[in-house]
Amino acid sequence: MGSGSKPAAVVVVTFAVLMAAVTTTCQAAYGPPNPASCGLKVGYYYAKCPHAEEIVKNVVGAAILHNPGVGAGLIRMLFHDCFVEGCDASVLLDPTPANPQPEKLSPPNMPSLRGYEVIDAAKAAVEAACPGVVSCADIVAFAARDASFFLSNSRVAFQMPAGRLDGRYSNASRALDFLPPPKFNLGQLVANFAAKGLGVEDMVVLSGAHTVGDSHCSSFVPDRLAVPSDMEPPLAAMLRTQCPAKPSSGNDPTVVQDVVTPNKLDNQYYKNVLAHRVLFTSDASLLASPATAKMVVDNANIPGWWEDRFTKAMVKMASIEVKTGGNGEIRRNCRAVNH
């Protein structure tokens, strides 16, 4: 499976899109998202709300202890937030009469995105300590970092710069515009990430988050279970027993994305890619070019290689199109804009 494109074609697409990726105010005109250029910094709340990060970490840790799956949801939430309108907590906004179709109701988020109640709990705890100080966007970023820490048994540990403001706009159609579907091939994935200032290695490294969490059958059926398929036959056979041949809104079960270590954030995903034990076309497509295939091999085989790159890519992703100044606010309630 994969894009079917020649490696050279992928390189051309990558270069062209990267050169065209002149992004919004908080990203360099030519280059990747940069926390410093957005006014983000580590320890942003040390003076304003000294225990903010500790409070969020405690809430996230308790939630993951109760249900490890919610940790995968919190990591995914940061990605789904940042790729649509930037890292501004727009994915948290509930529908209102004035805005009946926010991002959270878009097919990429509904019903699969989870962890909203953890963000609510963290926001409530932070508000009790420091009212009106900590943005929901920063809480989403902290929660993804902390979920990574707990699900990796502390092997993925990093500092998350903060200082984001919350956005006021959320539209379901924008999620469809910017979030890459699981059926994307390699060229489409490269272009999608480049449009947000992220490179090919960022894309490969962030795909490793598929080592935790579940997927609805509709995300890979029938494409990946068709015959012939490059999926490992025993896995395909098992999935055919778990998934309906034609998933529907009333019959769309979930399965684990990583059958080896489903609740552990580790580099097993890359071993699964090499063994053809991955669910999505987008996962399998990482072997479609020599360059990305080598990245998969390195992430699979070199101890600590993927974890180191994942921490850097998460910080970079969490700096996409950040709201600052008059472009945002600090919401009192993460589900609604201030009035």
Domain of 309, CATH number, reads: 1.10.520.10
Judge whether 214 is annotated as a binding position.
Answer: no
Please give the share of the chain, as a percent, with pLDDT higher than 90.
86
Mean pLDDT calculated for residue range 82-107: 97
Q: What share of the chain is helix, strand, coil (3-state, %, to 5)?
A: 50, 5, 45
274 domain-assigned: yes
Whether pLDDT at 47 is above 60: yes
User: Looking at the domain assignment, is residue 231 inside a domain?
Assistant: no
Residue 174 domain-assigned?
Answer: yes
Is residue 19 over pLDDT 80? no
- Residue of 180, 183, 215 whose CA lies nearest to 282: 183
Closest CA to 322 of 197, 193, 206, 166: 166
Number of domains in the chain: 1
Residue 289 lies in a domain: yes
The residue whose two tokens read 């990305």 is 292
- Supply the DSSP string of 139-157, one letter for each residue: HHHHHHHHHHHHHTTTSS-
Burial class of residue 122 in the structure, from the number of CB atoms within 10 Å of its CB (0-12 exposed, 13-18 middle, 19+ buried): buried
Decide which of 24 and 36 is more confident: 36
Output the average pLDDT for the chain: 91
Question: For residue 39, is it within any domain?
Answer: no
pLDDT of residue 174: 97
Does the residue 148 lie in any domain?
Answer: yes
pLDDT top residue among 16 and 152: 152
| 103 labeled part of a ligand binding site | yes
Q: Is residue 240 part of a domain?
A: no
**What is the SS3 assignment for 69?**
helix
Distance between CA atoms of 197 and 178, rounded to whole angstroms? 13
Domain span including residue 105: 51-213+257-318
Q: Is 81 annotated as a binding residue?
A: yes
Structure tokens at 10: 């992928």
The tens digit of pLDDT for each residue in 60-69 reads 999 999 999 9
Average pLDDT value for residue range 269-277: 98
What whole-number distance in Å separates Cα of residue 300 and Cα of residue 270?
A: 5
- At 136-186, the pLDDT tens digits run 999 999 999 999 999 999 999 999 999 999 999 999 999 999 999 999 999
> Is 80 an annotated catalytic residue?
yes
In a domain, 8, yes or no: no
How crowded is the C-beta side of 292, counted as CA atoms within 13 Å?
33
- Report the distance separating Cα 250 and Cα 281, nearest Å: 24
User: Which candidate in 51, 66, 80, 276 is catalytic?
Assistant: 80
According to the annotation, is 146 in a ligand binding site? no
